[in-house]
Amino acid sequence: MIRTLSACLVRELRLAARIGAGVELGLVFFLILIALAPFALGPDQKLLSRLAPALLWTGALLATLLGLDRLLQADEEEGVIDQFLLSETPLELILAVKTLAHWLVTGLPLTVLAPLLGLMLAIQPGAMAPLALSLLIGTPALTAIGLIGAALTVTLRRGGLLLSVLVLPLTVPTLIFGVAVVREAGEGNAFATPLMLLTGTSLIALVVSPIAAAAALRLTRS
């Protein structure tokens, strides 16, 4: 089974490399969102610095959302999901592997780019590493929650907006704790508590999501 799963992971990554994972597009979108912020808020450094944690986290969230339909759509169209259902490997594990692969090409690049964008927003120096850490822990949760939305809307033709509507309320805890980590670090406070809460939330998401998504896929086969 391990062989099947690692083969699955390799396949996902190869497909992403060949077809194009939208890595670049996701990063550009993230950049654009951050670049828009001063137009909306004014170039006042102090204000931007105060809002930086929120802007960066919200930007990462929205950029993740955009890449989600790629998670299951192609497989659904080609009947691959039906294949998964027939295989011996549990669908839940296959979906977990797909989540990992997807995060490697969407969430992880966003995490790497974020501190650089933080410089544009005059983020506190002490907050840059916690920013990266919070995104490193939090973006997998965003992808996982997105997986549930993707599974529920996979059969719909233009399910992108509905996917966002379903997923966004569920990401509120991740957003709250993630932003809190960065803000507390920026103000020089201890940020262990929100970091632990963020980790807990991520772990719960990573466990519940493949189970829920697998159930959704199984139950909505036509």
Partner 1 sequence: MAPPVRRFEFLWSLANPSRFSALARRILPFTAAGCIGLLAYGLYTGLLVAPADYQQGDSMRIMYIHVPSAWLAMAVYGAMSMSALGTLVWRHPLADVAQKAAAPLGAAFTALCLITGSIWGKPTWGTWWEWDARMTSVLVLLLIYLGIIALWRAIEEPGRAARAVAVLTLVGAVNLPIIKFSVDWWNTLHQPASVFRSGGPAIHPSMLEPLLTMALAFLLLFVSLLIVRMQTGLMERRAERLAQLAAGEEAS
Positions that interact with partner 1 (CB under 8 A): 148, 152-153, 155-156, 159, 162, 165-166, 168-170, 172-173, 176-177, 180, 197, 201, 204, 208, 212, 215-216, 219-220, 222
Between 72 and 105, CB nearer to partner 1: 72
Nearer to partner 1, 26 or 159 (CB): 159
Nearest-10 Cα torsion for 172, 64, 71, 204: -30
Comparing CB distances to partner 1, the nearer of 13 and 197 is 197
**CA-to-CA distance for 209 and 150, rounded, in angstroms?**
11
* Residue 71: φ, ψ to 5°: -65, -45
Provide the CB-side half-sphere exposure for 69 (13 A, CA).
14
Nearest distance, CB of residue 166 and partner 1, angstroms? 5
Q: Which residues contact 69 (CB under 8 A, 6 or more apart)?
A: 150, 159, 160, 163
Closest by CA position to 150, among listed 84, 81, 90: 81
| Backbone φ/ψ region at 211: left (φ over 0), alpha (ψ -120 to 50), beta | alpha
Tell me the C-alpha distance between 140 and 103, whole Å. 6
Shortest Cβ 200–partner 1 spacing (Å): 9
| CB nearer to partner 1: pick between 22 and 173 | 173
- Name which of 88 and 222 has its Cβ closer to partner 1: 222
3-state DSSP call for residue 109? helix
Q: Toward partner 1, which CB reaches closer, 16 or 148?
A: 148
Written as one letter, the residue type at 111 is T
